[in-house]
Amino acid sequence: MSFILPFIVLIIVVVFIHEYGHYYFAKKYGVGVTDFSIGFGKELFGWNDNSGTRWKICWIPLGGYVKFFGDRNVFSQADQEELLKKYNKDDQEKLFVTKPLYQRSLIVAGGPIANFVLAIFIFLFIYMFAGKDFTPAIIDEVQKDSPAEIAGMKKNDIILEIDNNKVESILDVSKLILMSTSEIVDFKVSRYDQELLLKVKPKIVAGVDNLGNKINKRIIGIKLSPYNNEINHKKLGPARALIESFKEVYFVTTSSLKYMGSMITGSGDSSQLGGPIRIAKISGQVAEFGILPFISMMAYISISLGLINLFPIPLLDGGHLMFYAFEKVLGKPLSQKTQEGFFRIGLFLLLTLMFFATFNDLKDLGLF
């Protein structure tokens, strides 16, 4: 139960924000919305608003949806003529398929956009009211015969960059090493006012993260410490906090794309890919450390949800945006038959990904 409740809270918030992004742009452009659902399956409870939208919570809290007025296939444009015959002129104005291409695109992209906005807002809140660490990353010890020593790292070196990512805090070092997908990690260090570029090949060892979960660690063999044990942690003003929030969202997004790319090419560690079971486990563990770590995790999950939904896979928002790109280029939508073929491919890809992630989750629990 300690894992389930935080997980449900996290999923409900992130999914609600995602679906509200679709809902917001739909209402903005006059599209009728009949249902706004958090979860799938049988309705637990709900209510109707003044515009006729049914807001509801359903049994299975692993997603949600917004259903548009009159749409058999929510984002389909191919059967528009057949659909128009069923409605009078006033009702036709509320149909999704009658809207211009740019409006349909914004309605579809609204979900992922809302997820990124949520993450930015969370980071903004944290940096303004809890602060951000800016303690320089100074090497206190280089272990003998370690990858760091072999590469030429020395005590008192200040780490400035890792793989061209600026190191703003001592906390960034382990994160950037872990997120690196390169066999050789580039370090820029400052030594006696000189900047040096060192190439380090980490060792991959089985270990555990700060929560006790099994991971494959990338070890280079250094210990860091703040200069004179002084921690530089400060609260940021609104403008600086907003800039740092955008930078964090950009970093997480690009790092995630690199990681996924490395898995496709076979060079990445696919064992770290997890699904709902792992998210539930980690969300429960993080919640025990307090509200700030928990909402930080919520921001990262929100980014992941927004990013994944932008992938050009039918059944996802990015798949529909791909169809609209074809429509823009061809001057007309793809045929219903072609769209259905793409949807079958998308369903196969999603089921394969879900199976693989679930297998990793069960393996992590020691069931395989």
Share of the chain above pLDDT 70, in %: 88
Q: What confidence tens digit (pLDDT) does each residue in 342-356 have? A: 888 888 888 887 777
- pLDDT value, residue 129: 96
Using DSSP, state whether 64 is helix, strand or coil.
strand
Question: Is the pLDDT at 142 greater than 90, yes or no?
Answer: yes
Report the pLDDT averaged over residues 139-143.
94
Report the alpha-carbon distance of residue 343 to residue 311 in Å, rounded. 13
pLDDT at 368: 53
The pLDDT assigned to 338 comes to 85
- Reported as a pLDDT band with limits 50, 70 and 90, residue 88 is confident
Write down the pLDDT at residue 250.
95
pLDDT of amino acid 193: 86
| pLDDT the model gives residue 117 | 98
Q: How many Cα neighbours within 13 Å face the side chain of 346?
A: 20
Q: Count H helices and E strands in the chain, helices first.
A: 11, 12
Q: How do residues 94-104 score in pLDDT, each as one tens digit?
A: 888 889 999 99
Averaged pLDDT of the chain:
87
Residue 275 scores a pLDDT above 80: no
Per-residue pLDDT tens for 116-135? 999 999 999 999 999 999 99
Mean pLDDT of 30-49: 94
- State which of 19-33, 207-221, 339-353 shows the largest mean pLDDT: 19-33
* pLDDT surpasses 90 at 272: no
Three-point CA angle 186, 192, 197, nearest 5°: 15
Model confidence band, residue 268 (pLDDT cutoffs 50, 70, 90): low
Instruction: Match 């040096």 to its residue by tokens.
Output: 196
User: Does residue 179 have a pLDDT over 50?
Assistant: yes
Q: What is the mean pLDDT of residues 268-280?
A: 65
- Give residue-wise pLDDT tens across range 288-332: 778 999 999 999 999 999 999 999 888 889 999 999 999 899 988
- What are the CA-CA distances from residue 48 to residues 65, 73, 94, 160 (Å)? 16, 23, 18, 55
Are the C-beta atoms of residues 163 and 170 closer than 8 Å to each other? no
Q: What pLDDT was estimated at residue 75?
A: 45
For range 252-278, the mean pLDDT: 75
For the record, the structure tokens of 54 come out as 């049914």
Question: What structural domains does the chain harbor?
Answer: 4-129+300-364 (no CATH), 132-234 (2.30.42.10)
Residue 267: band (very low, low, confident or very high) from pLDDT cuts 50, 70, 90? low
d(C-alpha 362, C-alpha 368), whole Å: 7
Catalytic residue set: 19
* Amino acid 74: pLDDT: 46
Percentage, residues of the chain above pLDDT 90: 55
DSSP codes, 141-205: EE-TTSHHHHHT--TT-EEEEETTEE--STTHHHHHHHH---SSEEEEEEETTEEEEEEE--EEE
